[in-house]
Structure 1
Amino acid sequence: MTAWAEKVVTSGKFSLDGGSWDVDNNVWLVGDDNELIIIDAAHDAEIIAAAVGGRTVKAIVCTHAHDDHVNAAPALARLVDAPVLLHPDDRELWNMTHPDRAPDGELADGQELPVADVALRVLHTPGHAPGAVSLYSERLGAVFTGDTLFQGGPGATGRSFSDFPTIIDSIRERLLWLPPETVVHTGHGADTSIGAEAPHLEEWVARGH
C-alpha cells in the first residue's frame, strides 16, 4: 500500500522567554492504513490519537522541542504505545517542558526511519532550535520542515536557543538542494515547495528575516 501524509491541526500555546502566544500547529501522520509515524505531538494527545485510529504507531518524531511541538508527547506516547524520538541537541529545551520524562530515543543526521513503503531521512537543520530536524522522503516527494522553513521564509530566530545565520545555513545546505518540486509540509500554516522558496534565499539574508 502506498504511504501518504495526513495533517491534523491542533491549537494551544507556545511559551518561551516569559512570553506566551496562541498557535495552531500542524501534526503530520505519515504512513498507510496499517502503520504510521507521527511528526510532532502538539497540544492535544486525544485528537491526534483519534486520527491514528487502530493503526500501529512506529514512532513520535519531534522536529524540535519547543513546547508547542512536544507538550502532548508523553500523553500521546501512552495512548498509542510508541517511542518519542528527539535530536539530543534539543534536550535542554525538552527538559523545560518535561523535566521528569526523557525522550525514548535520539535522532541523528542521516538516520532513516522506515514506515509503510517509504523512509523518512533525518536532516539536522538547526537554527530555529539547536536540535531542529527536517524529515525528507524522496518517494513521497515531500519534506517535513517543522519550524525551519515556511511559506515565505525561515522560522523565527529572535528567541533563546535560536540563531539566524545558522538557520540560513541549514536551509541553504540541507534543504535547497532537494528537487524543486519537493512539497514542504510545515509546522504551522500552509504548504509550499522548495522551488517556490529557493529563489528568495538572498532576500531573506539581506533583510535578516
Structure 2
Amino acid sequence: MSYHGNVTVGGPADVRELAPLMITKLAVGPHDNNTYLLRCRLTDEQLLIDAAAEPERLLKTINGSLAAVVTTHQHPDHWQALQAVVNATGARTAAGEHDADAIPVHTDVRLRDGETIHVGYIPLRVIRLTGHTPGSIALLYDDPKGHPHLFTGDCLFPGGVGSTQNDPDRFTSLYNGVVEKIFNVLPDETWVYPGHGRDTTLGTERPHLEEWRTRGW
C-alpha cells in the first residue's frame, strides 16, 4: 500500500519506503503528536524525530538500536518520552541551540541553522524557524532522486503556520521564516510532515500564503 500519513493515536504506524530511506510515522497520545522514525537503508542506522509520548510504543517501533533523537522544539508534548527512550537505547540527543536549555533532558548536540545532521548516509539539513518557540527547527531531506521531505515540528501545518499565541511579532517572525526559508526555496512537490495531524505538500499550501499573512495566524 502507498504511504498516506493518516495515523491515529493507538492505531498502526504508516511507513514510506524510499530507495535510501524508510520513514515511519506514528501518532502518540495524549496530545495526538506525530513522531517519525527515519532509517538509512544502507546502514540500518535510525534517528527519531520527537520522542513525544508513549515510550513503550516508540521502543516497539524502533525495535533495535537508535543513533539519535532530535527534538524539534521545547514544548513538553514533544519530549515526554525522551528520557525513557534515551535510557533504553543510549541514543544521542539533539535540538535547536536556542531551545535546548528549556528541554529537561540533556542535549548532546545543539543544532544551528543550516547545519547538517546525518542518519547513516542520509543528510538532514537544519532550518531554524523562530516564532512558535525561539529555537524551533525543521529538518529537510532533499532526496536527489525524488522530491524533498520536510519535517516541520509545530512550525508548519496544513492550513497555516504554528501557534504564536496571538503575538504579532512572533507571527511575523514565523511567517517570514517559513516563506523565506521554505516556500521561496523548495518546490511544490515537497512533502511536509508536521508535528500533529495529517501531512501536506508545499504546493497545496502555497496558494494560501497571502491569506495566512492577512489573518495573522
- What range is the shorter-chain TM-score in? 0.7 to 0.9
Identity %: 35
1:61 maps to which residue? 70
CA shift in 2, pair 1:159/1:70, >3 Å: farther
* 1:208 aligns to 2:216 (yes or no): yes
Match among 154, 160, 176 for residue 147 of structure 1? 154
Q: Secondary structure of the residue that 1:137 maps to in structure 2?
A: strand
Name the amino acid aligned to 1:137: Y
Whether contact under 8 Å (1:2, 1:116) holds in the other structure is no
CA shift in 2, pair 1:105/1:116, >3 Å: closer
Name the amino acid aligned to 2:118: P
Q: How does 1:87-166 map to 2 (within 5 A)?
A: 87-94=96-103, 98=104, 101-139=105-143, 141-158=148-165, 163-166=170-173
Q: Which runs of 4+ in 1 moved over 6 A?
A: none
Match among 29, 38, 42 for residue 11 of structure 1? 29
Q: Secondary structure of the residue that 2:197 maps to in structure 1?
A: coil
Q: 1:38-83: per-residue Cα shift (whole Å, max 9, x none)?
A: 00010122211110102x3221001101000012111111112101
Shift of 1:107: 0.9
1:46 maps to which residue? 56
1:19 maps to which residue? none
Which whole-Å CA distance do the structure 2 matches of 1:5 and 1:126 have between them? 26
1:18 maps to which residue? none
Structure 2: stretches of 5+ with no match in the other structure:
1-18
1:172 maps to which residue? 179
Which whole-Å CA distance do the structure 2 matches of 1:58 and 1:41 have between them? 13
TM-score, normalised on structure 2? 0.83
Between the two proteins, the alignment pairs up a number of residues equal to 192
Which whole-Å CA distance do the structure 2 matches of 1:2 and 1:151 have between them? 27
Which whole-Å CA distance do the structure 2 matches of 1:109 and 1:60 have between them? 17
TM-score, normalised on structure 1? 0.86
Q: 1:77-115: per-residue Cα shift (whole Å, max 9, x none)?
A: 111210111112113532xxx2xx422221111111122
Cα-Cα RMSD:
1.8
Which whole-Å CA distance do the structure 2 matches of 1:91 and 1:138 have between them? 25
Q: 1:130-167: per-residue Cα shift (whole Å, max 9, x none)?
A: 1100000011621000000001111111079x911111
Structure 1: stretches of 5+ with no match in the other structure:
13-22
